[in-house]
Amino acid sequence: MTPTHAQPLDRAPRTERGRRTQRAILDAAAAEFGEKGFHDSSIVSITIRAGVALGSFYTYFESKEALFKALVADMSGRVRAHVAPALSHHKGSAIDGEGVALRAFLSFAREHKEIYRIIDEAEFVAPEDWRAHYSSTAARILERLHSAYAKGELRVRPQEAHAWAIMGMNVFLGLRFGVMDETADLDAVAAAANGLLHSGLSNDN
């Protein structure tokens, strides 16, 4: 379970039952916001979907805005948690590792299509969390690229633009082949995109 760091400490669940309740609210919010958007969703509809009492909502979230902010952080954490195991088991080059990370993200996007609407709306509803979501993702990519460069795997010194370019590619590939097309071969998509990184960055050419 991915913790929700956006919640104040005094509202963090203290029991397993509380954690299950909070998780149910977050999952219901993801579905509700994903279907209706932030402004057309309500706390009541979210609690009904979650199967919890209205009072339970206010135990963990002070408002719909607070829930949305927590959800952005939660979904960002869930992406990390989904990609990290794939990367941890990868033994090849860093550039191939980016292909592994992309493949994992594509599967997440296909399973959680609501992430696109939620993150898009976050630009206006929770701009600091929206910025943090993308900045932290790019920072992790850049860190991996710097590590690869130090090992002599890259022929160019990584720049922040490289990390944002990779992230941007991943985001739109997820939109095209995770959300718009449920039948695409995700392995083939990841391999095609990874070929671009090998051509542009790798020292194995």
| Domain boundary assignment for the chain | 9-200
Give, as one character, the DSSP assignment of residue 182. Answer: S
What per-residue confidence (pLDDT) applies to 205? 54
Enter the CATH code of domain 9-200: 1.10.357.10
pLDDT in tens, 158-200: 999 999 999 999 999 999 999 999 999 999 999 999 999 999 8
The first and second tokens of residue 67, run together, are: 């829930």
What per-residue confidence (pLDDT) applies to 202? 80
Question: How many C-beta atoms lie closer than 10 Å to residue 119's C-beta?
Answer: 19
Which residues in the chain land under pLDDT 50? 1-10
| Contact (CB, 8 A) for 182 and 110 | yes
**Alpha helical stretches, state H, 37-113:** 43-50, 54-60, 64-88, 94-111
| Contact (CB, 8 A) for 71 and 29 | yes
Amino acid residing at 46 = I
pLDDT in tens, 3-20: 444 444 347 888 999 999
Give the C-alpha distances (Å, rounded to integers) separating 120 from 94, 116, 131, 141. 29, 6, 11, 21
What per-residue confidence (pLDDT) applies to 8? 46
Q: What proportions of the chain, in percent to the nearest 5, are helix, strand and coil?
A: 75, 0, 25
Contacts with 13 (C-beta within 8 Å, 6 or more apart), sequence order:
19, 21, 22, 60
pTM, 2 dp: 0.89
